[in-house]
A and B are shown apart, each in its own frame.
Chain A
Amino acid sequence: MTAQPRLVGFACRWCSYAGADLAGTSRLEYPASVHLIRVPCSGRVDPAFVIRAFQRGADGVLVAGCHPGDCHYASGNLFARRRFALVKRFLEYLGLEPERFRLEWISAAEGRRFAEVIREMTADLERLGPNRKLREDP
């Protein structure tokens, strides 16, 4: 399975994880590259999680949460937005291609959008090839 890029997704349980479930109940096919990690809120995602994923060989990382204003905890996604704007710049500074990391707002009703984001990211990662920049030697 080396041909398939590895995409690690952190999805908030209220919106994006539920949106991914909706993609499932709607039988929307998308690449198997993505493996979701369920978190309570996008604001729970520590930048260390993202860095670790890249170090362990992830080719791309997605952090997905509720749309701004819709956070189940009122403000968690706003913290995520600020935090990952910095993390994204930091990753690019390290030499990582910008397409490898995305922060997306996907609501529980947006199964279609979830599938779309995964398709887009997977296509980008296939084009970029494996992440060699941050990957630790196995």
Chain B
Amino acid sequence: MPRIGAFICHCGLNIAATVDVERVAARARAIPGVVHAETYKYFCSQPGQEKIAEAIRSSRLDGVVVAACSPSMHEATFREAAALAGLNPYLVQIANIREQCSWVHSDRETATVKAAALVAAMVAKVRRDQPLEPIRLPVNPRALVIGGGVAGMQAAWDIAEAGHAVVVVEREPNLGGRMAQLSETFPTLDCASCILTPRTAEVARHPRIELLTWSEVREVSGYVGNFSVKIARRPAFVDWDRCIGCMLCQDKCPAPAPIAFEHGMGMGKAIGVSFPQAVPNRPVIRREYCRRFQGRKCQVCAKVCPVGAVDFEQAESCREEKVGAIVVATGFDVMPAAHFGEYGYGEYPDVIDSLAFERLNSSSGPTGGVIRRPSDGRIPREVVFIQCAGSRDPDRGKPYCSKICCMYTAKHAFLYRQKVPDGQAYVFYMDIRAGGKGYEEFVQRTVEQAGAMYLRGRVARVYPEDGRLLVEGVDTLAGTKVEVAADLVVLATAVLPREGARDLARTLKIAADEHGFYSEAHPKLRPVETMTRGIFLAGAAQAPRDIAETVAQASAAAAKALGLLTRGELAADPLVAEVDEARCSGCLVCRHVCPYQAIEPRELAARKVASVNPGLCQGCGACAAICRSGAMGLHGFSDKQVLAEVGAICL
């Protein structure tokens, strides 16, 4: 009989406060085959791991159960510790008595009994474990970055600079993302384009970066180190290889088109680029606004193009890229108008959101950087900024803080006063959250130098009167009602994941939270990894964050991706399926349910049996569940093991 050791962790008081760990250890000792059981404050610590190693050696253990936190936390830790002590790491199992016991039950007696049962189940399981060796897999050294904003560009740049090829997929026709839409950045008031444009140019001409803009990821198959990605490129109706970027087509195009880049503040043309510094500097035709695609006779762009690059027949094209790692940097959207009826957003033209204000403020924007209100082009003398429009509002909006709004609103108020020295900015806020280097100081400058009036309280409604907008709110500090007649109202709308983020999560098989932000593998220790190995996160796709944090996280994601790409070979868990050839009837039902085409028939003497390619098998166990002769086994989750767990729990 195998000699099992059970190690019951106190996890400080996280477990010990609710579970009587000594009793759990005593119950474990009573299980036949358990030759060692002890408790310790923190088994994950160095001395804790040393205790396990010592017991493995002195008690000659050939199976270890650690009753502690979830296996997603420290399974790897304890397997490594066991391996260092000479025990095969796959002879270690974790009983989850923290997340699934002490943290969710308060009655000490029932929690203790349940913890003991969970330990017994793992003892039953580990007893039926086999020593296994990790599977070696080749790693494709290329990377894919999804998203060409500041996060995606930083990640791509870092990976490329380290010597690896990178494919960048961007949905828009050009790089830049949200940051390209901004005027200045807080707290230094650097011009956003001045920082970003050199970076876009560098990324575009990097010899190891390939740009696929106006493109989307359609399908992802494979696994860490060996992903295969199908990328669709929408038709631009312009042959970009021929195009010389003169933009005569855009100048001469007679069809105006609202382009997303201007966020409702300005018009573009049906053919053209989003902004003059766009990289790649190549136009697309937006069919929904193009006269020719609307059935009219216009062909102006084709006629004026000096190189004959316009191609109305261009179709969607598809390509497949093989990569070893993927960085997801799809960024954010802001909450749409429909949510803000009481502020009249979407109804009154002079109620705009902050992204629109960025465009008004931008020297390359529709007003050339002069702040004019949309309705009549007048320069607003009084501007009301409303923070937390949709954020920190669990009932009607989002419960979370969008994090960047306090700072960009302070920036807006500051810049407004610079441009309109006799103007007055009012800021309605709930709290000012200015955690960051130089952030609080900047907010103070906005109050002191720019004279912005900060009013703590919410706005009840906004309505038009005599060509202005009356803003009714409360000042909760003064305990009074406040009414401001404003020329322009700017809403700091909640940050949301990009449209389509959930679909992409499905395509990539990564998790997203209830709001659609991508979930990191661990909030503290694995902040840029996903639960799917080989896929990493950067920027606001994971949670609202500012540019500085986004860039830092993008570099972190790049470093993690490089840690994988530079290895050449990868060790994968050997928890894969294996056929007992003596029992296999050769029916090959397993082959039909395998999502990875990992099962092939094999000739064996006079008959045919199933055979599993362990490099392709991902260990889902669909084959094991469907096998009628019980020949298909799954290492780590065999029928015998699961049934033994059932037996132990039901004892």
| A contact set with B: CB distance below 8 Å | 1, 4, 6, 8, 10, 14-15, 18, 20-21, 23-25, 27-32, 35-41, 43-46, 48-49, 52-53, 56-58, 69-76, 79, 83, 107-110, 115
Contact = CB atoms under 8 A, between A and B. Distances in A.
Interface of B: 70-72, 96, 98-101, 103-107, 109-111, 113-114, 117-118, 121, 506, 509, 511-514, 519, 531-532, 575, 593, 595, 618-622, 624-626, 634, 637, 639, 642-643, 645-647, 649-651
Contact of B620 (A4, A24, A43): A43
Given A32-B107, A109-B513, 12 more contacts: A6-B650, A21-B100, A24-B100, A36-B100, A48-B643, A49-B642, A49-B646, A52-B646, A58-B646, A71-B509, A73-B622, A76-B621
A79 B626 contact: yes
A112 to B, nearest CB: 9
Nearest 6 interchain pairs by C-beta: A24-B99, A44-B621, A56-B650, A73-B620, A24-B103, A21-B99
A101 to B, nearest CB: 14
A37 B646 CA distance: 8
B624 A44 contact: yes
A21 B595 contact: no
B625 A43 contact: yes
Contacts of A32: 101, 105, 107, 110-111, 113-114
A108 B100 CA distance: 14
B100 A20 contact: yes
Contact of A25 (B99, B114, B637): B99
Nearest to A14: B531
A24 B114 contact: no
Instruction: Give the interface centre of A35, A36, A73 by most chain B CB atoms within 10 Å.
Output: A35
Contacts of B647: 52, 56
A27 B103 contact: yes
Contacts of A40: 575, 619-621, 634, 637
A24 B110 CA distance: 16
A70 B621 contact: no
A59 to B, nearest CB: 10
A15 B583 CA distance: 33
Nearest to B511: A108
Contacts of B618: 73
Given A1-B113, A73-B618, A108 B519 contact: yes
B301 to A, nearest CB: 41
A13 B511 CA distance: 12
B71 A38 contact: yes
B104 A29 contact: yes
Instruction: Give the interface centre of A1, A21, A48, A53 by most chain B CB atoms within 10 Å.
Output: A21
B105 A44 contact: no
A46 B100 contact: no
